[in-house]
Amino acid sequence: MINKKVAVLVDSCSDVPKEVINKEFFEMIPMEVFFGDEEYQDRVNIEPDEFYQKLLTENLVPTTSSPKGEFISEAFENLIARGYTQVVAICISSGLSGTAQQVEIYAEEFPQLQVKVIDTKNIGIASGFAAIRASELIEDGLEFDKIIEEVQRVVKQTKVFFYVPTLKYLVAGGRIGRVAGLVGSIINLKPIISCDEHGIYYPVAKARGEKKAVGKMLQLVDDTIGNAQNFNLAVVHGMNPSLMETISKEFKNKYPNVDKFYNGDISPALGVHTGPGLIGIGVQIID
């Protein structure tokens, strides 16, 4: 029986699939996206399709910031109003965003809630997988402490791989991290980026051209799965649905025993730093 005391709080950059985040016990706090003087709340009043069109057509370099404190407080208030007393707060890497620290600070204003912030040291769907796992455990009726223990375990067994057609958006957004060494390399060099143990971007592989880059990314996924019997996969995109579909079809044929498979899009706040054409693959090992 579902544990009706426990809720999940996520930030919009965790890219939790719609079929999961629409569950009653979820709350999302939006990142801020700015186009010049125009201010948007990620996935609230700007969706990915609209964002990428603006990115391509407007002569502005967008920026992002962590969620406003009022949005974090509002999320906690909404959960209290719905009767929740315990909150699993899933946040993208503290190495890339101050969101996890902000949520911890604002949680102190709500002593009626027991809040545990989990810094996934990851980004996008790899962070979202932690929220998915938490939702499964809530629906299985597990107690709060057991949910936290299991989510923290699988967080360490979750990887993300991003194919980025160009590095210029990472450079412009200041999120280049350990990928900086690739800037100025061969023009057709296509990097595959992941997050290291500190939650910082690093180039896990590189190839010349998209086809070879995708091939390397598929090999990285295969290496990550290894001999695992229970695992989840996701393929997400930033204005590149056809490539997402191609990779998804290959995965479904290659891994018929996958537990859960998700498709989705990449949030505008992440798209600011990666640009259009991005493909992300998340791998969560449950074993």
pLDDT the model gives residue 73: 98
Asked if 18 contacts 10 with a C-beta cutoff of 8 angstroms, the reply is no
Domain boundary among 101, 134, 156: 156
Give CA–CA dist 200/202, Å, rounded: 6
How confident is the model over 227-252, as a mean pLDDT? 96
Chain centre distance of CA 198: 16
Structure token pair of residue 74: 């509002």
How confident is the model over 156-183, as a mean pLDDT? 72
Looking at the structure, do residues 131 and 181 belong to the same domain, yes or no? no
pLDDT classification of 173: cutoffs 50, 70, 90: low
Looking at the structure, do residues 176 and 140 belong to the same domain, yes or no? no
How confident is the model over 20-48, as a mean pLDDT? 95
How confident is the model over 145-161, as a mean pLDDT? 98
pLDDT the model gives residue 178: 47
Looking at the structure, do residues 202 and 110 belong to the same domain, yes or no? no
pLDDT at 149 over 70: yes
Q: Which helix (H) or strand (E) holds 5?
A: none
Structure token pair of residue 60: 């502005």
Looking at the structure, do residues 74 and 152 belong to the same domain, yes or no? yes
Q: What is the mean pLDDT of the chain?
A: 92
pLDDT the model gives residue 11: 97
pLDDT the model gives residue 172: 65
Structural domain contains residue 172: yes
pLDDT at 167 over 80: no
Domain boundary among 112, 140, 156: 156
Looking at the structure, do residues 81 and 182 belong to the same domain, yes or no? no
pLDDT the model gives residue 176: 52
Looking at the structure, do residues 66 and 141 belong to the same domain, yes or no? yes
pLDDT the model gives residue 195: 94
pLDDT at 174 over 80: no
110-133 residue pLDDT tens: 999 999 999 999 999 999 999 999
Give CA–CA dist 11/183, Å, rounded: 30
pLDDT classification of 177: cutoffs 50, 70, 90: low
Which domain covers residue 168, as residue numbers?
158-285
Residue 213, domain CATH? 3.30.1180.10
Looking at the structure, do residues 183 and 260 belong to the same domain, yes or no? yes
Read out DSSP for 125-167?
HHHHHHHHHHHHHHHTT--HHHHHHHHHHHHTTEEEEEE-S-S
pLDDT at 184 over 80: no
The phi, psi pair for 60, rounded to 5°, reads -135, 145
Q: Which of 151, 93, 144, 158 is nearest to 115 (CA)?
A: 144
Q: Which residue has the tokens 């455990």?
A: 137
Residue 122, domain CATH? 3.40.50.10170
| Number of folded domains that form the chain | 2
**Kindly report the CA angle at 194 between 255 and 65, in degrees rounded to 5?**
125
Residue 145 CB contacts under 8 Å (≥ 6 apart), including other chains: none
pLDDT the model gives residue 28: 98
Give CA–CA dist 7/261, Å, rounded: 23
Looking at the structure, do residues 14 and 125 belong to the same domain, yes or no? yes
pLDDT classification of 16: cutoffs 50, 70, 90: very high
Give CA–CA dist 167/183, Å, rounded: 7
Structural domain contains residue 1: no
How confident is the model over 181-204, as a mean pLDDT? 76
Looking at the structure, do residues 179 and 134 belong to the same domain, yes or no? no
Domain boundary among 156, 172, 195: 156
